[in-house]
Amino acid sequence: MTDTIQRFGRRAKLEHVLIMALFTLLALSGIPQKFYPAPWAETLIGLLGGIDRARWIHRVSGIAFALLALEHLAVVVFGALRGRVELSMVPGRKDVRDAWRTLEHQLGFAPEGARFDRYDYRQKFEYWGLVFGGGVMIVTGFALYFPTAFASVVGGQAIPAAKAAHSNEGLMALLVILTWHIFSAHLSPDVFPFDRSIFDGRISVERMRHEHPLEYARLGAPPARPTLRATAAALLTAPIRGALFAMFLPLAGFAVLGHRLIGKARRARAR
């Protein structure tokens, strides 16, 4: 038995590399425009060839990012409807329970953490953050690219709002990548110093057993085929579930801690 397992295919690996490259170009050309009066921003703009060249790089990269998003959406929707793509990133009740259980374990309230399937709740949170954050960036980016046409439809007051949303969402995305994603992919004790599974597509058997025990237990078994009706319902409700989950997770730690503290207070009062 091989000591590694194929986890990602060529399309997933290529998508990740393209997102990395486009995000880097967008950040390098966009963040300095937000902080242009700062000396470091002026220096970086100069290295890019001036403000006009930086804007050109940012717009071309943004259009490429939008096309990549459309390609990803089309592959997921049509692939799921044809039974070729599993909707593994759609959050459900188990992800809420997993987040709660993991936080309880990390805070010392539970002896064991959750057992995860193909993707855990943190990966789903990051994915849906990219989906909604990318959607905001794409819509507001095109609004700023075609302000006259956009203003004629929704009103001129939407243009400064789009500028603020685009600028602040871009900064937040950069900070999330530098903290959350970099830690998960490089600094976490489970993968330090580098998680290369998304690049070579393979994961060790040891990591699969440890990080995705439910998926590991299904290896070799025929995949479950949901009905077309169930798939269509999952696709239609996926954005709502993703949004609710993305809002829930940042508050989960406070909810777990508050729930435990209230329970302790009640037990102390009952004595």
Residue that the structure tokens 């290529």 belong to: 14
Name residue, tokens 């089309």: 74
pTM of the model: 0.90
Residues 226, 92: contact at Cβ < 8 Å?
no
DSSP 8-40: --HHHHHHHHHHHHHHHHHHHHHHHHHTTTSHH
Looking at the DSSP bridge assignments, the partners of residue 202 are 6
DSSP 50: S
d(CA 144, CA 147): 5
Q: CA–CA separation, 125 vs 242, rounded Å?
A: 8
Q: What is the pLDDT of residue 1?
A: 45
Q: Note the pLDDT of residue 216.
A: 92
- Give the separation between CA 60 and CA 63, rounded to whole angstroms: 5
**pLDDT score, position 2:** 65
Can you tell me the distance from the alpha carbon of 150 to that of 159, in angstroms, rounded to the nearest whole number? 8
Phi, psi of 86 (to 5 degrees): -85, 140
Mean pLDDT by groups of 10 residues along the chain of 271 residues: 84 95 96 93 94 96 97 95 91 92 86 91 92 95 94 91 94 91 84 87 92 90 83 93 87 77 79 71
